[in-house]
Amino acid sequence: MKEQILGKLRNKLVVSVQPVDHGVLDKPEIVALLSQAAVNGGASGIRIEGVDNLLASRSHLSVPVIGIVKYDLDDSPVRITPFLEDVEQLAKAGANIIAFDGTDRKRPVSREDLVKAIHSYGCLAMADCSSREDGDYCAALGCEIIGTTLSGYTGGPIPEFADFELIEYFASKGYFVMAEGRLNTTEDVKKAVYAGADCVTVGTVLTRLEVMTEKFAKAASVTKD
Ligand SMILES: CC(=O)N[C@H](C=O)[C@@H](O)[C@H](O)[C@H](O)COP(=O)(O)O
């Protein structure tokens, strides 16, 4: 099962379908349609946030689905799948892979317990990492996928470019590497693959229409002199 799912993702694209929070596209039926459109365009996997979004989408998708649930907690900076209840609900809603925050930060549930729970439902565990240490730790816990998702998002200004060095490092360790985060062009995607990524996830440029439109709108209103 594990090899079958990883095989479907190897050298392929995952599209993260996470519309802007509370935007007009932030609705389960829209997430389902965007996910199908992404698959029709060649996505080999879909990353979906939220159990309702996953429930609305799953039956329309024949590709592996990565499920997450995001929170803004008062007492922890961890946002991605911090709780065991969500692991259960994501698994029951049909996620093949469950991603969680793999960083070493104050958190309600340990990384060990999350990985155990994910595996107990027969799902693959993907660790969204910010550093080499996160990846090494989560790989040792048995996570099947090590992602660069949180590099640049644990403090300080968000870098302009993706963390290709972290992709290279994870690849050098033999992990199944998901390159994710700030891969905004087809050239970025190729660079990630050349750096050793086994699979690449692209989100914002494909599925956050407001964010991308704002950039183009700004470009259009540039002054000519
Ligand atoms: C840091 C964080 O919370 N990342 C999230 C993880 O689910 C999403 O907001 C990103 O859109 C996703 O990782 C894809 O990345 P990008 O949108 O840059 O292609």
- Nearest-angstrom CA–CA distance, 71 and 46: 20
The per-residue pLDDT for 26 is 98
The per-residue pLDDT for 225 is 78
- Judge residue 140's burial from the number of C-beta atoms within 10 Å of its C-beta, 0-12 exposed, 13-18 middle, 19 or more buried: exposed
The per-residue pLDDT for 218 is 97
Residue 126, SS3 per DSSP: strand
b/e for 64-94, b at 16 or more Cβ within 10 A?
Answer: bbbbbbeeeeeeeebbbbbbbebbbbbbebb
17 CA distance to ligand 1 middle (Å):
9
Nearest to 20 by CA among 181, 210, 158, 180: 210
How far from each other are the two terminal CA atoms of the chain, in whole angstroms? Answer: 60
CA distances from 177 to 53, 70, 74, 101, 224 (A): 25, 22, 31, 15, 44
Q: Is the CB of 201 under 6 A from ligand 1?
A: yes
The per-residue pLDDT for 1 is 82
- Evaluated on CA atoms 150, 70, 81, 59, the torsion sign reads negative
ipTM attached to this prediction: 0.98
4 CA distance to ligand 1 middle (Å):
25
In ligand 1, which atom is closest to the CA atom of 18? 11
Q: Is the CB of 66 under 6 A from ligand 1?
A: no
How large a percentage of the chain has pLDDT more than 90? 98
Which residue(s) pair with 75 in the sheet? Answer: none
223 CA distance to ligand 1 middle (Å):
32
7 CA distance to ligand 1 middle (Å):
23
Q: Is the CB of 180 under 6 A from ligand 1?
A: yes
40 CA distance to ligand 1 middle (Å):
21
The per-residue pLDDT for 23 is 97
Contacts of 34 (CB under 8 A, 6+ apart): 17, 19, 25, 207
pLDDT tens-digit profile of 7-47?
999 999 999 999 999 999 999 999 999 999 999 999 999 99
Using CA positions, which residue lies closest to atom 14 of ligand 1? 203
Written as six digits, the tokens of 191 are 């660079």
Contacts of 27 (CB under 8 A, 6+ apart): 19
Domains of the chain: 1-221 (3.20.20.70)
pLDDT tens-digit profile of 112-170?
999 999 999 999 999 999 999 999 999 999 999 999 999 999 999 999 999 999 999 99
Probe target for ligand 1 pocket from 25, 153, 180, with the most ligand atoms within 8 Å of CB: 180
The per-residue pLDDT for 120 is 98
Q: Is the CB of 152 under 6 A from ligand 1?
A: no
Alpha helices in the chain (DSSP H): 2-9, 28-40, 51-58, 84-92, 111-120, 132-140, 164-172, 186-194, 204-207, 209-220
Q: For residue 224, name the pLDDT band (cuts at 50, 70, 90).
A: confident
- Average per-residue pLDDT for the chain: 97
Cβ atoms of residues 150 and 134 within 8 Å: yes
224 CA distance to ligand 1 middle (Å):
34
b/e for 10-39, b at 16 or more Cβ within 10 A?
Answer: eebbbbbbbbeeeeebeebebbbbbbbebb
- Nearest-angstrom CA–CA distance, 9 and 126: 13
